[in-house]
Amino acid sequence: MYNETITRSQLSEAVYQEVGLSRNESADLLESVLNKVSNTLASGESVKISSFGSFSVRSKGQRIGRNPKTGEEVPILPRKVLVFRPSQVLKSKISGLPVEPAGPVEPANPPSNTSEFD
């Protein structure tokens, strides 16, 4: 297993190399995307990134926990937690399995044989 972590500067460098923006523009673009994601999550909305996964905020209620050393009951206050659910594409990529196609895509509104001008 790899113990490396990718950093903001490495992501910014990847944008620079792939897109062709300047290094400053690449860093600004990355910051803009990350700010949009974090602001959206902070407002309680979900973020879905196709073929990657979805981020959402979940509220956890108050509950009683236990101090493992003393066995004393301790209230755990309500809080919000960030949840990430990877897409099937990402899960398959991580496990090394091929991604199965979703099947034929049907048009949302199939063309009819009649015109609105008939």
Q: What is the distance between the alpha carbons of residues 40 and 53, in angstroms, rounded to a whole number?
A: 15
Could you read off the pLDDT of 27-84 as tens digits, one per residue? 999 999 999 999 999 999 999 999 999 999 999 999 999 999 999 999 999 999 999 9
Q: Could you give the 3-state DSSP secondary structure of residue 66?
A: strand
Instruction: Tell me what pLDDT residue 118 has.
Output: 47
Residue 59, both tokens: 């509220």
